[in-house]
Amino acid sequence: MLRQPILLLSRSDRVKRLVATLPVTSGIVTSYVPGETTEAAVAATADLVDADLKITLDFLGEDTFDVEQADATVAAYVELLRQLTTKGLPRHAEVSVKLTAIGLLLPDHGHKIALENARTICRAARNAGTTVTLDMEDHTTTDATLAILRDLRKDFPETGAVLQAYLHRTEQDCRSLAYEGSRVRLCKGAYAEPESVAFQDKIDVDKSYVRCLKVLLAGEGYPMIATHDPRMVEIASSLASRYGRAQKTYEFQMLFGIRPEEQKRLAASGETVRVYVPYGQEWYGYLMRRLAERPQNLSFFVKSLISKR
Ligand SMILES: Cc1cc2nc3c(=O)[nH]c(=O)nc-3n(C[C@H](O)[C@H](O)[C@H](O)COP(=O)(O)OP(=O)(O)OC[C@H]3O[C@@H](n4cnc5c(N)ncnc54)[C@H](O)[C@@H]3O)c2cc1C
């Protein structure tokens, strides 16, 4: 019930100004975001690698309407990849990129600028020996994201995509992307979407998630099963064995700070588990989406806001 209002607040500048004054060290933020700097992100990566986990790093930011900010985001990814290389981590860590953070929404030539910026990051990732996955944002960007993915894959076929099971279109998108070498991260979807494009009830989203899992696991690509839902994890495991998939031909993915014990349990059972590690100063939108998924955390959040006063 609270999900839609919280997601709407995630786009409010007024609330953002209030919440953004929270120090990153406040409990609720650090439970989801290990830090604001590249160094903090690399240190968190090294700790997760020690726990036998893989990583994908996200430099936080989205909905950029400013060319310089888009350029700064590209530079941040290039620097991140440099620091990962220095520490010998690219074998374990890739990067996740939001196209609206690197120019997709810019009024003049946004599509072209985002594509060129994504190419720069893909090139830096390849030079470092790792890969890029394009995050999926709200449904108004789905077509553009998939078009940019198609272009990028001509030169960088290792580039991954995200599909969101709450969208009506996604089962078909899974069919289109279930080809050899195609890395597809399947998540439920985190944005406030209208009934015209997305399932609204959890049960319908879960059923769609299972249908999409079947398409991806039966297909030729590399499915990345991104969920914390114990039922989805169990169903994915049994579908993987039904379709004769060996453990290293797919992976599980979870967000930093969510069900860390389950992440370790799955890794210990031989599964590849990748943790999505967001970092940077622009944590507001990300945090609000996590709160929307788990309104129980709201009281914790409001206490953090009150105690800073
Ligand atoms: C690696 C990864 C990448 C993602 N990338 C994208 C993307 O590009 N685009 C996009 O729209 N969405 C993305 N998401 C978010 C995703 O769409 C969901 O919003 C999110 O994962 C919650 O859905 P769930 O499958 O975990 O199931 P849910 O049914 O929401 O949750 C299942 C269980 O997980 C636990 N849980 C879930 N959320 C939280 C939380 N915030 N805090 C604490 N416990 C929690 C609870 O135990 C809950 O009962 C990504 C998720 C992951 C794991």
228 lines ligand 1 (CB under 6 A): yes
Q: Residue 93 above 60 pLDDT? A: yes
Q: Point out the ligand 1 atom lying closest to the alpha carbon of residue 276.
A: 1
Q: Active site residue: 58, 119, 135, 274, which one?
A: 135
Q: Are 67 and 104 in contact (CB under 8 A)?
A: no
Q: Residue 12 above 90 pLDDT? A: no
Please report the pLDDT score of residue 11 as a whole number.
73
Please report the pLDDT score of residue 23 as a whole number.
63
Query: Are β-strands 273-279 and 251-255 bridged in parallel, bridged antiparallel, or unpaired?
Result: parallel
Q: Which class for 269: exposed (0-12), middle (13-18), buried (19 or more C-beta within 10 A)?
A: exposed
Q: Are 104 and 73 in contact (CB under 8 A)?
A: no
Q: Residue 307 above 60 pLDDT? A: no
Q: For ligand 1, atom 21, name the residue with the nearest CA.
A: 227
Distance CA 108, CA 263 (A): 42
Q: Are 255 and 265 in contact (CB under 8 A)?
A: no
Please report the pLDDT score of residue 1 as a whole number.
61
Distance CA 33, CA 60 (A): 9
The fraction of the chain above a pLDDT of 70, given in percent, is 93
Distance CA 273, CA 254 (A): 8
- pLDDT, tens digit, for every residue of 106-154? 999 999 999 999 999 999 999 999 999 999 999 999 999 999 999 999 9
Q: Residue 7 above 80 pLDDT? A: no
Is 183 labeled as catalytic in the residue annotation?
no
Residue 133 DSSP one-character state: E
Distance CA 187, CA 224 (A): 9
Q: Residue 4 above 70 pLDDT? A: yes
Is 150 labeled as catalytic in the residue annotation?
no
Ligand 1 center from residue 46 Cα (angstroms): 23
- pLDDT, tens digit, for every residue of 202-222? 999 999 999 999 999 999 999
Average pLDDT over every residue of 277-292:
90
Please report the pLDDT score of residue 145 as a whole number.
98
255 lines ligand 1 (CB under 6 A): yes
Supply the angle between the helices 67-86 and 110-128 in degrees, to the nearest 10.
Answer: 10
Q: Residue 309 above 50 pLDDT? A: no
Position with higher pLDDT, 25 vs 250: 250
Please report the pLDDT score of residue 154 as a whole number.
98
Ligand 1 center from residue 181 Cα (angstroms): 25
**Tokens 């939001």 label which residue?**
98
Question: Tokens in use for 272?
Answer: 């590849």
Please report the pLDDT score of residue 26 as a whole number.
64
- pLDDT, tens digit, for every residue of 38-75? 999 999 999 999 999 999 999 999 999 999 999 999 99
- pLDDT, tens digit, for every residue of 230-282? 999 999 999 999 999 999 999 999 999 999 999 999 999 999 999 999 999 88
Please report the pLDDT score of residue 304 as a whole number.
61
Supply the angle between the helices 202-218 and 230-242 in degrees, to the nearest 10.
Answer: 30
Ligand 1 center from residue 186 Cα (angstroms): 11
Ligand 1 center from residue 188 Cα (angstroms): 7
